[in-house]
Each structure stands twice: as structure tokens, then as C-alpha cells.
């Protein structure tokens, strides 16, 4: 395995982890807003109990991805830094608004109502803005003029495929976060919130599957050339089969698990199957993307930095993540899987 291939796999792993964590985080902000508007304060409390200690940590993790991209694939960083000038500005505005209002909302009760609305709206929009990078990377929206890369703004923002991808990203974030919050409510022993989030997942699950199939069936301008070889790839076929079966299994179990039980293993298993579905689907997509980081203009190999820089950056990132991992696991133990913490902060009155 070449260094560029290993680096591409490492970068993909960072994106995969962030996409799952961010989807749950953004979706939880939306569900807080959704249930606040409907007066379901118990379900709202479950969502805010998760978001409160995690949102800043997950935002901090986002920083690792551009650092890795610049150090490992500087040519790709230059290309995307150019073509993402407008989309990235929109993304940063949404992240800044969400972060600022969450910070102000926790610092002063005066901003609580605004925090709920802003965090909910931005949490709804952010997954769609993030996932718009996928159709862009499949080609047809970016051209090269000499050493410069140019995003065809008119073609990109008028493309129905881009908006299908965005709708898919939003629905998937809502589905995954609803499943996670159902598990969170189950862990805290809360019957009513569990039912609320279970029903939300039952509604958004099929929608996310339909939009995902639609997004990858209707090709982007160059997407059909990029995706076509995947049909003859055994690994791609196996991963997609596992992904579909994982969705069917998790959805069926969720459908029949109508109420929380003394054991929370059922909700954990359902969430695990859903995450398996996402991991295998993203792995299959990575195989489809093959060697290209920006199809058909740029490959990972051509975008890689020199061997010394590449190796040094990779080692620093790996060591840094190894140092951070115990802290992240401790954080998870304190706030994510501690039944006592969840039950204390989301108590349901009799």
C-alpha cells in the first residue's frame, strides 16, 4: 500500500467519524427545537442533555480534517480552498451562528429562546451544506484553468442532484439523531421521550433510504463515469448488501420495540446496526470514488505532499489522536453511556 493510499484511508476515517458525530449533534439540535415548538419538554430535555456537553467537542474535532488535508494533500487543499469559497462561507456562517448562540444560551437565560431557534435551524441546514461536497467531488461542477480550479456556480446551484444530496444529508442526520436520542431516553428510563424519538426515527428512516438511493441513482454530470465501475467490484457489492440489510434489521427491530424495557441492549443494538449501515455505505462510496479526490481533475497520489512532509504529518496526527483517545473515552463514559447522568438530567415527573 502506497503512502498516498494510506493517507487517503486515514482522511476518510476522520471524515467518517466526524460525519456520524456531527449528524447526531446537528440532528439533536433540530429535535430540541422541534419538540420545544410542540411543547414536548421531556423530549426536548433529552436532546439538550446530549447537546450541552458535546457540541463544542465535536466542533473541535472538525479542525483535524482541514489540518490533515493541508498536511497530507496540499494540492487538494488548494483546489477545494478555491472552489469552496462560497459554500464554505455559508458553512462557516451557520457554524458560527450555532456556536455563538449555544454559548450565549448557556451563559445567560436571556438568550435561551433565541438559542433554541438558531441552533435548531442551523442544525437542520448544516448536514445538507456539508454533504453538498459529495456531488461537487464527483465532477461536472468544477473546471480547471491552468493551475486554478473554478466552481461553476450557476451549474452547481441550479442542479437538482445537489439538492437531492442535501435533502438526503438532512434526512439521514435526523434519522440517526432520532435513533441515538431514543437510545439516550431508553438509557435514562424515560418512556414518553423514547416513544417520541422512536416515532421520529420510523418516519425519517425510510425517507433517508429513498433519498439516498435517489441521490446515487441520478448521476451528477460526471458521476456516471465515476460510479459505473463499482457494479463489477465484489467489495462494493458486499458492502452495499450489508448496508441495506443493516437498515432493514435496525428498522424492523425499532418497529417492534414499541416500549422501553429494563434492558437497554435492544436500543443499543438498533443504533449499532444503523451506524453499521452508514459505515458500510460510506465505505462503498469510498471504493466508488477510487483514486480521485476531485474527479476527474485530481487524484490522491497527484495531490500528496512530499514523502518527508507526508510522513511527519501522518505521524503527528496519529500520535495526537492516540493521546486524545483516552480523554474522549472518559468523556463518553461521563456523559454518553452513564445511565445515572442521563436519568438525573432528564428526569420525568410523575
Q: In tens digits, what is the pLDDT along the chain, a chain of 350 residues?
A: 688 889 999 999 999 999 999 999 999 999 999 999 998 888 999 998 888 888 878 888 888 999 999 999 999 999 998 898 888 899 999 999 998 888 877 777 777 788 899 999 999 999 999 999 988 888 889 998 888 899 999 999 999 999 999 999 999 999 999 999 998 888 888 888 999 999 999 999 999 999 988 887 887 777 666 666 666 788 888 999 999 999 999 999 998 876 655 556 678 889 999 999 999 999 988 888 878 899 889 999 999 999 999 999 999 999 988 988 888 888 777 777 766 777 776 654 44
Question: Whole-angstrom Cα distance, residue 9 to residue 101?
Answer: 35
Residues paired with residue 151 on neighbouring β-strands, in sequence order: 142
pLDDT at 304: 93
pLDDT at 224: 64
pLDDT at 273: 94
pLDDT at 148: 87
Q: What are phi and psi of 151, to 5 degrees?
A: -85, 125
pLDDT at 264: 62
Q: How is residue 202 written as a grid cell?
A: 420510523
Residue 282: in which H helix or E strand, if any?
A: helix 265-289
pLDDT at 263: 56
Going by C-alpha positions, the residue among 282, 208, 209 that lies closest to residue 240 is: 282
pLDDT at 346: 66
Q: Are 139 and 296 in contact (CB under 8 A)?
A: yes
Cβ neighbour number for residue 291 with a 10 Å cutoff: 13
Residue-range domain boundaries for the chain: 7-345
Give the 3-state secondary structure of residue 295: coil
**Torsion angle of the four alpha carbons 283, 287, 291, 296, in this order, in degrees rounded to the nearest 10:** -110
pLDDT at 225: 65
Question: Whole-angstrom Cα distance, residue 284 to residue 276?
Answer: 12
Give the 3-state secondary structure of residue 123: helix
Residues paired with residue 142 on neighbouring β-strands, in sequence order: 151
Question: Is pTM beyond 0.85 here?
Answer: yes
Q: What does 224-281 look like in DSSP terms, one character per residue?
A: HHHHGGGGG-HHHHHHHHHHHHHHHHHHHHHHH--S--S--HHHHHHHHHHHHHHHHH
pLDDT at 195: 92
Amino acid at each position: 500500500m502506497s503512502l498516498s493510499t494510506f493517507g487517503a484511508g486515514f482522511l476518510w476515517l476522520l471524515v467518517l467519524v466526524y460525519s456520524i458525530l456531527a449528524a447526531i449533534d446537528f440532528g439533536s439540535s433540530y429535535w430540541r427545537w422541534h419538540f420545544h415548538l410542540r411543547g414536548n419538554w421531556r423530549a426536548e430535555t433529552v436532546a439538550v442533555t446530549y447537546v450541552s456537553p458535546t457540541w463544542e467537542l465535536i466542533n473541535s474535532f472538525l479542525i483535524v480534517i482541514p489540518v490533515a488535508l493541508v498536511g497530507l494533500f496540499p494540492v487538494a487543499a488548494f483546489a477545494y480552498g478555491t472552489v469552496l469559497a462560497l459554500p464554505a462561507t455559508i458553512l462557516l456562517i451557520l457554524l458560527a451562528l450555532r456556536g455563538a448562540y449555544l454559548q450565549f444560551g448557556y451563559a445567560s437565560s436571556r438568550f435561551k429562546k433565541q438559542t433554541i431557534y438558531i441552533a435548531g435551524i442551523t442544525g437542520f441546514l448544516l448536514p445538507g451544506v456539508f454533504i453538498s461536497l459529495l456531488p461537487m467531488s464527483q465532477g461536472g461542477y468544477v473546471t480547471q484553468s491552468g493551475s486554478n480550479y473554478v466552481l461553476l456556480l450557476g451549474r452547481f446551484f441550479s442542479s437538482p442532484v445537489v439538492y437531492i444530496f442535501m435533502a438526503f444529508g438532512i434526512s439521514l442526520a435526523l434519522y440517526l439523531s432520532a435513533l441515538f436520542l431514543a437510545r439516550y431516553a431508553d438509557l435514562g428510563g424515560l418512556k414518553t421521550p423514547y416513544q417520541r424519538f422512536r416515532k421520529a426515527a420510523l418516519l425519517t428512516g425510510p425517507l433517508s433510504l429513498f433519498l439516498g438511493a435517489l441521490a446515487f441513482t441520478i448521476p451528477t454530470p460526471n458521476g456516471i463515469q465515476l460510479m459505473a465501475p463499482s457494479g463489477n467490484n465484489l467489495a462494493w457489492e458486499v458492502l452495499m448488501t450489508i448496508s441495506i440489510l443493516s437498515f432493514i434489521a435496525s428498522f424492523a427491530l425499532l418497529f417492534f420495540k414499541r416500549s422501553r424495557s429494563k434492558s437497554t441492549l435492544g436500543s443499543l443494538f438498533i443504533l449499532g446496526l444503523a451506524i453499521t449501515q452508514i459505515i458500510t455505505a460510506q465505505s462503498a462510496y469510498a471504493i466508488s470514488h477510487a483514486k480521485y479526490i476531485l474527479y476527474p481533475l485530481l487524484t490522491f497520489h497527484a495531490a500528496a505532499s512530499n514523502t518527508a512532509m507526508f510522513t511527519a504529518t501522518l505521524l503527528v496526527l496519529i500520535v495526537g489522536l492516540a493521546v486524545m483517545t483516552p480523554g474522549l473515552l472518559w468523556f463518553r463514559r461521563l456523559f454518553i453511556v452513564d445511565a445515572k447522568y442521563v436519568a438525573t438530567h432528564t428526569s420525568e415527573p410523575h
